Amino acid sequence: MTESNNDRLLRALLREPVDATPVWIMRQAGRYLPEYRATRRRAGSFLNLCKTPELACEVTLQPLARFPLDAAILFSDILTIPDAMGLGLHFVHGEGPSFERPLRDATSIRRLSVPDPEEELGYVMAAVRLVRRELMGRIPLIGFSGSPWTLAAYMVEGHGSDTFAKVKGLLYDQPEILRQLLNVLSGSVAAYLNAQIDAGAQAVMIFDTWGGVLSPSAYREFSLEPMQRVIEQLTRLSDRRRVPVILFTKGGGAWLEAMAETGCDAVGLDWTVGLDEARRRVGNRVTLQGNLDPCALYSRPDRIKQAVGEILAQFGHGSGHVFNLGHGIHPDVDPAHVGVLVDAVHALSRQYHASS
């Protein structure tokens, strides 16, 4: 593997000087791109797209052909681990992910074991290797996993939820059972991310999509602490370079200080917390990633540029910021607007790095 040519992302994640703020977009390989929809049709199903390394590689690369993004992120699903554990992941059209065999009792939780990533999730590692080969070091590749709590929430509910009544019922009534589940998931996420790093991922991100539905004390115990255990087990050096870890709890703006203490290198922010405030609170310890409201991409180009300028100004001078949306891009966004955003980040951010 060759050294990255554009390593802005890796430098910014470690708060090293950069010439411009790096930018990538959550779900940048996704439904807003017609070429993605074409590959998705060819794949037959979303799951087949995830599980066929050549197709996963193809869609991973698609946005890079359109936009000068500073990172690739592996195309995959956050629920591959529970699928490998035998829960039977499938996708109902218009309703998101669902499990055929959700966890409904202590016995089924006790039966779970850590999947071997190279055996049972080999299709993910094959995709990582393919993408790295295709990228030829031009930009870094980010690997990822769902957080233990987020995986547990889906596994117990069986699907997404507005209330998370089942998994939170477990949390409040039988916390010891939930702890068992989070233990096996922490081990699984660590093994899975380490396998991605071994296969070539140059940074990894933990998506804690549902940590924000918890109370402060429940967040610490059932979401943050398992993530910290994952981070402690990660391979942090690959190709003689540090592998940065990004931690993202959607709706976690109140807990940035605690997130910054887990050993991660960067904290992802949704759009409900200001970058200025976030930098004041934790910017001397971690890089901040985010945080434009994905809905801002519905507006006309001059307003998008203005919104990008406001986010950059909120962070201010110096390194330690990776531009992103605060959540995944919406499927009905005009792809041209993504181009406007990426160009605006690069053009408007140079002034903040001039003296570094």
Where on the chain is the footprint of a copy of itself (CB under 8 A)? 163-165, 168-169, 171-173, 212-219, 251, 253-254, 271-274, 277, 293-296, 298-300, 303, 307, 330, 332
Cα angle vertex 245, ends 243, 250, to 5°? Answer: 160
Q: Is 154 a catalytic residue?
A: yes
Residue 40 designated active-site = yes
CB closer to a copy of itself, 277 vs 343: 277
Taking the complex as a whole, the smallest distance from the CB of residue 109 to a copy of itself amounts, in Å, to 17
CB of 298 to a copy of itself, least distance (A): 4
Shorter beta-carbon distance to a copy of itself: residue 17 or 169: 169
How many Å separate Cα 334 from the centre of its chain? Answer: 22
Q: Establish whether 101 is a catalytic residue.
A: no
Residue 243: name the closest of 288, 198, 191, 284 by CA: 198
**In the complex, minimum distance from the CB of residue 329 to a copy of itself, in angstroms, rounded to a whole number:** 11
- For the bound state, the minimum distance from the C-beta of residue 79 to a copy of itself, rounded and expressed in Å, comes to 18
CA dihedral 234, 46, 160, 265 (to 10 degrees): 20
CB-nearer residue toward a copy of itself: 119 or 172: 172
Q: How far apart are CA 248 and CA 326, in angstroms?
A: 10
Q: Which of 228, 107, 229, 111 is nearest to 174 (CA)?
A: 107
Nearer to a copy of itself, 220 or 242 (CB): 220
Which residue out of 8, 83, 132, 154 is catalytically annotated? 154
Identified catalytic residue from 19, 31, 129, 276: 31
For residue 206, list its beta bridge partners. Answer: 145, 247
**Would you list the DSSP string of 86-149?**
II-EEEETTTEEEESS---SHHHHHT-----HHHHTHHHHHHHHHHHHHHTTSS-EEEEEE-HH
Contact 230, 191 (CB under 8 A): no
User: How far apart, in whole angstroms, are the C-alpha atoms of residue 249 and residue 146?
Assistant: 10
Going 221 to 226 to 228 to 232, the CA torsion angle's sign is: positive
Bridge-based pairing of strands 245-249 and 203-208 is: parallel
Q: How far is the CB of 306 from a copy of itself (least distance, A)?
A: 10
For a copy of itself, the closer of residues 54 and 162 by Cβ is 162
Name the catalytic one among 7, 77, 265, 270.
77
Q: Which is nearer to a copy of itself, 54 or 332 (CB)?
A: 332
Compute the least distance from the CB of residue 238 to a copy of itself, in Å. 36
Instruction: Indicate which residue of 11, 15, 27, 132 is catalytic.
Output: 27
- Our answer to whether residue 77 is catalytic in this structure is yes
Other CB atoms within a 10 A radius of the CB of residue 335 amount to 16
Residue 27's alpha-carbon distances to 3, 112, 222, 240, 339, in angstroms, are: 25, 30, 26, 29, 15
Per annotation, catalytic residue among 40, 132, 229, 279 = 40
Positions marked active-site: 27, 31, 40, 77, 154
